[in-house]
């Protein structure tokens, strides 16, 4: 298990991502994921502006993902409030299927995921922005030991032209 942890942590590009991973991992119990109740906002203060909590709702036909909480930094970047909105309602254009796959994979595997994607957003100021890169990490949370019920996400936004060569190689065109 330790080697798998190190491999994932090595993929994280920023110290804040690694610190958040360490915090999430410290809340894992043997054989179980942490739940929302295990996280304390006072421990996450420096991350809060770019934190998102997404509820996972199991429907009869497909899963639904609803933003329970989105930090103020996200509102500033996206120029709109996304708290309370479903993933399918967000102005993601063709990138919606990409983000749905990421969320589904995280729920199915119950393991953290990370990546780099162009910011595809058709909201707020009314234009799509692919000039920004979204460097993201997502962590599964479970209120019961067997089922992911919430996704904890942390995003870093930066000009795509400023990505390091290593991040440019991971840049996913959604």
Domain assignments of the chain as residue spans, ordered by start: 2-170
Fold of the 2-170 domain:
Beta-Lactamase (3.30.450)
Residue 18, number of CB atoms within 10 A of its CB: 15
Q: Answer whether 152's CB lies under 8 Å from 46's CB.
A: no
Q: What's the whole-model pTM score?
A: 0.88
141 CA to centre of own chain: 12
- Backbone dihedral angles phi then psi of residue 10, each to the nearest 5 degrees: -65, -25
Q: What is the full per-residue pLDDT of the chain (174 aa) written as tens digits?
A: 455 557 889 889 899 999 999 999 999 988 889 999 999 999 999 999 999 999 999 877 889 999 999 999 999 888 889 999 999 998 888 889 999 999 999 999 999 999 998 887 766 554 445 578 899 999 999 987 678 999 999 999 988 888 887 777 665 554
pLDDT of residue 174: 45
CA atoms of 55 and 108, how far apart (whole Å)? 14
For the four alpha carbons of 151, 115, 45 and 80, in that order, the dihedral sign comes to negative
pLDDT of residue 94: 84
């Amino acid at each position: 298990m330790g080697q798998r942890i190190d491999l994932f942590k090595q993929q994280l590009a920023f110290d804040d991502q690694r610190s958040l991973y360490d915090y999430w991992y410290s809340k894992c119990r043997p054989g179980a994921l942490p739940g929302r109740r295990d996280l304390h906002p006072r421990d996450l203060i420096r991350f809060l502006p770019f934190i998102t909590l997404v509820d996972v709702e199991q429907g009869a036909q497909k899963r639904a993902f609803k933003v329970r909480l989105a930090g103020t930094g996200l509102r500033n970047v996206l120029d709109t409030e996304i708290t309370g909105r479903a993933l399918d309602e967000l102005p993601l254009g063709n990138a919606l299927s990409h983000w749905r796959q990421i969320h589904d994979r995280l729920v199915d595997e119950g393991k953290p995921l990370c990546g780099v994607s162009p910011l595809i957003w058709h909201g707020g100021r009314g234009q799509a922005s692919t000039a920004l890169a979204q460097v993201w990490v997502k962590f599964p949370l479970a209120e019961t030991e067997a089922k992911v019920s919430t996704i904890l996400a942390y995003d870093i936004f930066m000009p795509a032209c400023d990505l390091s060569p290593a991040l440019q190689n991971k840049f996913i065109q959604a």
